[in-house]
Amino acid sequence: MPIASTSSYTKVQYLQRQAASLLLYQSVLQGEVGMAFLELLQAIRYTDADARGCLQAYGSYFHALAAKNQNWEDYLITQLLFSDNPFTRLAQVREFEDLPPALVAAVRHDLQILQSLYECSSASLSEWIQGVAHMPISPVVWYKEQELLGGETKFATYLQELDNWSDAVEELAAYYRQCGSGLFAEYRALRWQAGQFIGIRYSDPIKLSALVGYESQKDALLKNTEFLLSGEMALHVLLYGSRGSGKSSLVKSLLNEYSDVSGKGKAQGSLRLLEVAKSDLKDLPAIVEHLRGVSQKFIIFVDDLSFEEDDDAFKALKVVLEGNLTARPQNVVVYATSNRRHLIREFFVDRPSPKDNEEIHAWDTMQEKLSFSDRFGLTLTFEPANQKTYLKIVHHLAAQAEINITKEDLEFQALQWATRHNGRSGRTARQFVDFLKADLTFFHANNKTSNT
């Protein structure tokens, strides 16, 4: 028999029934925090005589919240907004009036349940534990200031002001239509790995303002990306050129330029960067179909692209670039980087010769290989940096890093670095400035210590 007070026992029993009756939003309670919450309710209802199991369950719940670094209330709302279920998916592609009535009714039902779980605060649970375990004081309550971001904060505030969450169905559908759901709502950067999407929590923070040089290439890529974000038909892009010229950094900087939900423009915040390795390009047609109809805009990023002859990845990419009977989705483009102008390796033995056993239309085969890069709608060429461009990049990065040495000394050291390391390039400039910044900081710290 439970030894909890009649009042807490009744409340806990009610919450357990509520949680068990969710129709669409079961995923809200399937994470570590949600499972710890349910196990704690169970422990409060059916605790041991000495309450050890109940205290352990509370410890697991506290640990899960601390590991997530969220309050219970914030956690519940983020799980609600990131949930992937039939309603969240359909709400992205249909107007609210066109959603099935049964689906809308199920969401109203689930929102009432989630509101009751939301109101079961960690402070309330701590008080229940105190009563069940006969403790002189209640256990420590996990709490931190609210840190939801952008649209999440706005929607959380909206829910907090509502007396009845079931009235929020239409606004919730509008949120999913604008921000998406599931992994695509939770992460700005993702990768395709082992046949599934994997969220990247800490994406490259490179900013567009950190990149200098190749201004015309940068402007062309930005314009094409804005076409994508505005819903126009954007082009697939090949960024070709020498190593270290900033091709990959330029693509990655787009994410930080356009995915900020606080930025201007109705499409701001909708950009997602999906990294696909060359070994996974065979899955590209399936990936594109997964992304069709999703509210966000996707750049499929393929770095360091090249192919061997008869490569299956070549055939898959060709289908995506050229299309087939399936219409191309307007929310997806491919941005690929390569050090090779001709993406398929060609050997002298491949060239036509008048031997009887050669292919009759060998020139056609060779031309198909050589022209594959032309299937990208836009090709941006990054030539090797000359000394002037290299030093311009160095000065720009040094100013951002607040390095305070003379222009002459900076240029002398930069040229020495390029000679001894990887030659003149944006990558070399970045490596030099990073090293110089660390060296000057380290020297200053040691010098200050020795003087004291």
Question: 190: exposed, middle or buried (C-beta count within 10 Å: 0-12, 13-18, 19+)?
Answer: buried
Backbone angles phi, psi at 429, to 5 degrees: -60, -45
What strand order describes the sheet that includes 297-302? Answer: 196-200, 189-193, 271-275, 297-302, 332-338, 237-241, 378-382
| 414 and 274 housed in the same domain | no
Q: Poorest-confidence range of 157-166, 218-227, 346-355? A: 346-355
How far apart, in whole angstroms, are the C-alpha atoms of residue 116 and residue 449?
58
| 13 and 119 housed in the same domain | yes
| 181 and 274 housed in the same domain | no
How far apart, in whole angstroms, are the C-alpha atoms of residue 43 and residue 4?
10
Token pair for residue 226?
A: 């804005």
| 45 and 137 housed in the same domain | yes
- Inside any domain, residue 162: yes
The region, left, alpha or beta by phi > 0 then psi within -120 to 50, assigned to residue 282 is alpha
Output the CA–CA distances (angstroms, integers) from residue 424 to 107, 411, 427, 428, in the order listed: 59, 12, 8, 6
| 394 and 360 housed in the same domain | no
pLDDT: which is higher, 51 or 13? 13
pTM of the model: 0.78
Assign residue 277 the CATH number of its domain.
3.40.50.300
| 143 and 255 housed in the same domain | no
- Inside any domain, residue 190: no
| 370 and 438 housed in the same domain | no
Please enumerate, as own/partner, the contacts of 384-388 that have beta carbons within 8 Å and a separation of 24 or more: 384/241, 384/242, 384/245, 384/423, 384/424, 384/425, 385/213, 385/242, 385/245, 385/424, 385/425, 385/426, 386/424, 387/415, 387/424
- Inside any domain, residue 350: yes
pLDDT tens digit sequence for 183-218 = 998 899 999 998 999 999 888 888 888 888 888 999
pLDDT surpassing 70 at residue 372: no
Question: 116: exposed, middle or buried (C-beta count within 10 Å: 0-12, 13-18, 19+)?
Answer: middle
- Inside any domain, residue 217: yes
Confidence of residue 348 (pLDDT cuts 50, 70, 90): very low
pLDDT score at 347: 44
| 37 and 158 housed in the same domain | yes
Positive or negative, the CA dihedral 95, 99, 101, 103 is negative
Task: Give the residue from 367, 382, 397 where a domain finishes.
Answer: 382
| 241 and 128 housed in the same domain | no
For the chain, give the percent of residues with pLDDT over 70.
Answer: 82
pLDDT score at 242: 79
Average pLDDT, the chain: 83
pLDDT score at 360: 46
- Inside any domain, residue 192: no
Judge whether 54 and 62 are in contact, CB under 8 Å.
no
| 378 and 391 housed in the same domain | no
Q: Which residue has the tokens 């068990």?
A: 20
Full domain range(s) for residue 441: 387-451
pLDDT score at 147: 59
- Inside any domain, residue 1: no
| 281 and 154 housed in the same domain | no
pLDDT tens digit sequence for 27-71 = 999 999 999 999 999 988 776 556 888 899 999 999 999 999 999
pLDDT surpassing 60 at residue 239: yes
Q: How many domains does the chain have?
A: 3
Confidence of residue 375 (pLDDT cuts 50, 70, 90): confident
Task: Give the residue from 160, 185, 210 where a domain finishes.
Answer: 185
Q: Poorest-confidence range of 11-25, 245-259, 372-386, 400-414? A: 372-386
Confidence of residue 178 (pLDDT cuts 50, 70, 90): confident
| 87 and 133 housed in the same domain | yes
Task: Give the residue from 363, 382, 401 where a domain finishes.
Answer: 382
pLDDT: which is higher, 349 or 72? 72
pLDDT score at 33: 96
